[in-house]
Amino acid sequence: MGIDHRAFVSGGRDGVERFMRISVVGCGYLGAVHAAAMADLGHEVVGVDVDESKIAALREARAPFYEPGFEELLARTLATGRLRFSTDVAEAAGAQLHFVCVGTPQKRGENGADLRYVEAAAESLLGVVSPGDLVVGKSTVPVGTAARLAELVGGKVPGALLAWNPEFLREGFAVHDTLHPDRLVYGLPDGADGATAERMLDEVYAPIVARGTPKVITDYATAEMVKTAANSFLATKISFINAMAELCEATGADVCQLADAIGYDDRIGRKFLNAGLGFGGGCLPKDIRAFMARAGELGADQALTFLREVDNINMRRRIRMVELAREVCGGSLLGKRIAVLGAAFKPDSDDIRDSPALNVAAQLQLQGAVVRVTDPAAVENSRREWPHLDYAATPEEAAERADAVLLLTEWKQYRELDPVAFGKVVAGKRVLDGRNALDRETWTAAGWTYRALGRRAG
Ligand code: UGA
């Protein structure tokens, strides 16, 4: 006997009036969380991915990546019977909405986005989409992609529609951001088709819409650009404060106080003004580059040349960190033992894509330092991608007899280290705070030489 979803849903916690059948193609951070979250809202969902090990893990409620709260969500939704995972896209047949959530990495040797996974996902869906279905793009794509895919879908399956619905989730907060987004953006076709697509999306997101979440109804190009513009703005904000940090280093001013002071102006805001080692990860760096590449193709490259500088400022922070390490080690890194705290591109993640921390660790090692890296979640991934680095399970193990300790990813457990006890394991009490995350006074009071980006020596 099948499960009576409707009965379950109508008495359900989130007030979905009508459950929908959904497929989610691509089960990475975006897709896996989206699939489980949509099942949590009461829908019947199948998540599809070509990676067998990923699907096997998801079926057993094991997250293939570190994401707080995700395994609980998975376990909860799998238990309802509303969520399934498969490697076979044919399982998506019968769904009314098909979300495309595959990755769009940077092309090798080029700035542009590699669209091969999006195209493969769209192609594979053509075999299962029926008239009246809605294909919903969530991947971050160069402007113009949605219009092209809409033609492809509509051309092969008359009556099937396409919408672009970008996603703004942050790694580390993916579950919360998916279930409680701060806005919904629908890029829709014109006319009656647009109204149909809007209605279908509203049904999927019913509890979120009912909560009064701001909704922006727009065309494909704007929806695609909202995403890249948002990430470019965030990257610019970080590089702005890091450019100020460079000036602070030249003048003796303090970038943290500067950020606090300008952040009180709510036109500026304090968020994303944390100076330090800069941005990394699978989104911000590649998105600003893809945006520049696309602007070039459109003959509008001048509009985004400032993003090149944003990228440059960001990369210079990594070099500066290595220089600072050399400085505190007395002018040479040769044979110096250095502990690196943090490998993930940010805390609460095991994602090491374009990780500033690993980039610095590798440069230090290339320049002759003996580097030991630790991270609460990302050691396994790091070891696979950077096998030549040495890894430790704990900060104490990493810092044993170290000449300098570098905090490069601000995990809570590192921010809360006791500088007195920690001082007993190192050879030299020198700490470099790459994320301006430690309390300078407590560390200096415990006898440490404290150095940070954009701040005077402590
Ligand atoms: C980013 C955006 O914040 C999300 O809105 C977007 O949906 C996502 O990309 C995406 O395109 O999928 P995420 O990559 O998870 O999310 O990470 P962020 O929290 O934006 O942090 C990016 C980097 O900036 C990290 O390396 C972080 O350490 C750094 N950062 C962040 C700073 O250096 N300073 C800050 O003040 C804030």
- Cβ atoms of residues 123 and 160 within 8 Å: no
pLDDT of residue 9: 40
Locate the domains of the chain by residue range.
6-218, 254-452
Compute the mean pLDDT over every residue in the chain, rounded to the nearest whole number: 95
Nearest CA to ligand 1 atom 33: 278
**DSSP, residue by residue, 281-324:** SSSHHHHHHHHHHHHHHTT-GGGGHHHHHHHHHHHHHHHHHHHH
What are φ and ψ of residue 218, in 5° steps?
-150, -170
With a cut of 70, say whether residue 116 has pLDDT above it. Answer: yes
Nearest CA to ligand 1 atom 35: 272
DSSP 216: E
Q: How far is the CA of 289 from the centre of ligand 1 (A)?
A: 15
Distance CA 427, CA 407 (A): 17
Q: CA geometry: angle at 233 spanning 345 and 347, to 5°?
A: 20
Whether ligand 1 lies within 6 angstroms of the CB of 103 is answered as no
pLDDT of residue 11: 35
pLDDT of residue 380: 97
Same-fold call for 6-218 versus 254-452? yes
Number of H helices, E strands in the chain: 19, 14
Distance CA 287, CA 243 (A): 20
**pTM across the whole model:** 0.95
Q: How far is the CA of 351 from the centre of ligand 1 (A)?
A: 12
Nearest CA to ligand 1 atom 24: 279
Burial level of 109, CB count in 10 A (0-12/13-18/19+)?
exposed
Which structure tokens are listed for 140? 């971050």
Atom of ligand 1 nearest to the CA of 169: 7
Q: What is the pLDDT of residues 128-168, one digit of tens each?
A: 999 999 999 999 999 999 999 999 999 999 999 999 999 99
Please provide the size of the chain in residues. 458
What are φ and ψ of residue 134, in 5° steps?
-120, 120
pLDDT band at 13 (very low <50, low <70, confident <90, very high): very low
CATH superfamily placement of domain 254-452: NAD(P)-binding Rossmann-like Domain (3.40.50.720)
pLDDT of residue 18: 77
Out of 101, 248, 256, 283, which one is annotated catalytic?
Answer: 283
Catalytic, 256? Answer: no
Which structure tokens are listed for 57? 């893990």
pLDDT of residue 28: 94
451: which strand partners?
432
Whether ligand 1 lies within 6 angstroms of the CB of 278 is answered as yes
Whether ligand 1 lies within 6 angstroms of the CB of 454 is answered as no
Whether ligand 1 lies within 6 angstroms of the CB of 8 is answered as no
Is 6-218 CATH 3.40.50.720?
yes
Q: What is the pLDDT of residues 49-67, one digit of tens each?
A: 999 999 999 999 999 999 9
